[in-house]
Amino acid sequence: MSFTRVLPRLDRLYRSKLFVPGSRLEFFEKAAKSAADVICLDLEDSVAAADKEQARKNVIQALNEIHWGTKMVTMRINGLDTHWCYRDIIDVIEQGGGRLDSIMVPKAGVGADIYAVDMLVSQAEWAVKRERKIGLEVIIESAQGIENINDIAAASPRLETFHFGAADYAASTNMRTTNIGGSNRDYTVLTDPGADGARQNHWGDMWHYMHARMVAAARAHGITPIDGPFGEFNDDEGFRNQATRTAVLGCEGKWAIHPKQVPLANEIYTPPQAEVDKARAILEAMAEAEKKGLGAATLDGMLIDAASIRQSHVIVKKAEQIEAQNS
């Protein structure tokens, strides 16, 4: 390990984040009663320009009046290049009471974007003498965002989570797709002919680089990486496939843009029992090996050593966190 220690900043579950447009009042209570770990009251792209001011008022009212239980409650503000952004921050902190846990900043491009939001949030918190600090979450969803991701990650100690936004990222880089996450039939690799002369078309994951980049930058700063939206909300299999891939890569959760995606995300970002059992078996086998003075051992024909302990701890710790919440 480096002499520089990085500790995770977020210690709560973030398997599913249900988005609720700030203009759809009829969704609010349903969201509060859902099984989502996190709620996002949205003021940005799911709210029409004409509804922005009213949506902000709705969010303030919802924060004061709705019983959100133990859920993490967040709000997505409008971008820093709009005239709604500053009031989203100031009005909601000044009038929304103490329930807001975190503010989500869309389309962050440079570290100074986050620094500026931190400054506004700090001033509003001081003004209302708020004791519990509001966290920040950032959506990486532009070429600028991915290129400046380390500066963004280092811009504020309030930062707790990174999110990858597929649709805006695709638009910002001129990717030739209108999918929000998922696959694209043209993103394939044709193999060389085999012995029988046949060639195969292998599908690639066009989002892989961005996910992997985000996970590494996030973890290097103690930030939790979260996968963004999957637009085809009737395609459970497609959602499952993408979510499982990002869970394997290290993301701890995913957005739900419809309530039916919440149970799927909760399930997929819970480590499968077989993996938890295997991780526990590795820890037991390594404890036995240590008693015999061995640093490396074998389990079911596989090498295990100190790195296996660290890998297994990740899985067991997550399983225990989920068990604790369910008990």
Q: Which of 13, 21, 261, 262 lies at the binding interface for ligand COA (CB under 6 A)?
A: 21
Say whether residue 42 binds ligand COA (CB under 6 A): yes
The CB-of-145 to Mg ion minimum distance in angstroms stands at 10
Amino acid at 122: S
Select the span of 20-28, 77-85, 201-209, 310-318 touching ligand COA (CB under 6 A).
20-28
Say whether residue 51 binds ligand COA (CB under 6 A): no
Residue 33 in tokens:
């009663």
Per-position x/- string for 104-123, each x denoting binding to ligand COA as judged by CB under 6 A, each - no binding? --------------------
The CB-of-298 to ligand COA minimum distance in angstroms stands at 47
Q: Are 93 and 58 in contact (CB under 8 A)?
A: no
- Give the up-direction half-sphere exposure of residue 203: CA atoms within 13 A in the CB hemisphere: 7
User: What is the distance between the alpha carbons of residues 172 and 152, in angstroms, rounded to a whole number?
Assistant: 18
Number of other residues whose CB lies within 10 A of the CB of residue 173: 11
Say whether residue 46 binds ligand COA (CB under 6 A): yes
Say whether residue 33 binds ligand COA (CB under 6 A): no
| Residue 19 interacts with, from ligand COA, Mg ion, none (CB under 5-8 Å by kind) | ligand COA
| DSSP letter (8 states) at residue 66 | S
Say whether residue 27 binds ligand COA (CB under 6 A): yes
User: What is the distance between the alpha carbons of residues 164 and 181, in angstroms, rounded to a whole number?
Assistant: 10
Say whether residue 42 binds Mg ion (CB under 5 A): no
| Residue 92 interacts with, from Mg ion, ligand COA, none (CB under 5-8 Å by kind) | none
SS (H, E, C) 72-139: EEEEECCCCCCCCHHHHHHHHHHHCCCCCCEEEECCCCCHHHHHHHHHHHHHHHHHCCCCCCCEEEEE
Nearer to ligand COA, 84 or 312 (CB): 84
The CA-atom distances, in angstroms, between 105 and each of 71, 155, 305, 323 are 20, 13, 41, 31
Q: Which of 42, 101, 160, 168 lies at the binding interface for Mg ion (CB under 5 A)?
A: 168
Say whether residue 165 binds Mg ion (CB under 5 A): yes
Q: Are 62 and 92 in contact (CB under 8 A)?
A: no
The CB-of-28 to ligand COA minimum distance in angstroms stands at 7
Binding positions for Mg ion, rule: CB under 5 A: 141, 165, 168
User: Which stretches of the chain bind ligand COA, using CB under 6 A?
Assistant: 18-21, 24, 26-27, 30-31, 42, 45-46, 229, 257-259
